[in-house]
Amino acid sequence: MNDRLLRGLVAVVFACFLVAGCRKGPEAAAPATNPPATAASASTAASSSNSSATSGTDVAAAAAKAAAVESALKDDAIKNDPDGQWAIQAKASSSYQDAEGAAAWSANQATGAPNVEKYGDDGKAWAPKSQDGGIEWLDLTFPKAVFATEVRVRESCGSGAVIKVEVFDEKGAPRVVWAGNDPTKELNYFPVKFDKTAYKTDRVKITLATNVVPGWNEIDAVQLVGKEN
């Protein structure tokens, strides 16, 4: 073999070695560099997702806590209103299981301060004899006669069925202070505000249309607000 041919073969082999080396280098490097980068990206994405979920949970929890605080402050203000008084006697158009006296669901369960703690059927509230039966009423008497400005109805089940609120003047005549659509939802007060009466009253009558809100409609307590002079 002459020198020219030998040199040619050496050149070809060397070139092939260089090409093979350029191809292999990146492929060998890829497992060492690409997977860590991909894992880091996935880790960052997961961290971001978890952070967003945690942030959303925190916001919801904070909102629920704020609502609970607001409700507690509202209840406390009503219960301790110096111009408010709770009923001491009550009678009704009917009562579940014809309950009387201190029995569960009797009219007397609507006297005194509120004691139903959760929305729903509860024997510590007054309930009519049947559900969805139509017109029912609750008639309450309070400790002292006042010039009234508001009646607060604490609804505890089937809220939203009140259609009329009356107070009675000194001669025993009923005076309508409100009639309409009751917007109350869940366990809450239905506040009926009106101009100060020109007469004193110690008696309130609440009328419901029990067919308006399906199921049992119950009243936990009623507060009369006003001053003696």
Least confident among 35-39, 115-119, 153-157:
35-39
DSSP E strands in 103-185: the ranges are: 135-157, 162-168, 174-179
pLDDT by residue (tens digit) across 1-59? 545 444 544 444 334 433 343 343 444 444 444 544 455 555 555 556 666 667 888 98
* Count of C-beta atoms within a 10 Å radius of residue 81: 13
If pLDDT is split at 50, 70 and 90, which confidence band does 86 have?
A: very high
Of 159, 154, 176, 144, nearest to 75 by C-alpha is 154
- Residue scoring higher pLDDT (188 or 32): 188
Burial code of 2-35, b = ≥16 C-beta within 10 A, e = fewer? Answer: eeeeeeeeeeeeeeeeeeeeeeeeeeeeeeeeee
Q: Which residues contact 217 (CB under 8 A, 6 or more apart)?
A: 127, 128, 131, 136, 155, 157, 158, 159, 161, 208, 210
- Mean pLDDT over 55-84 rounds to 89
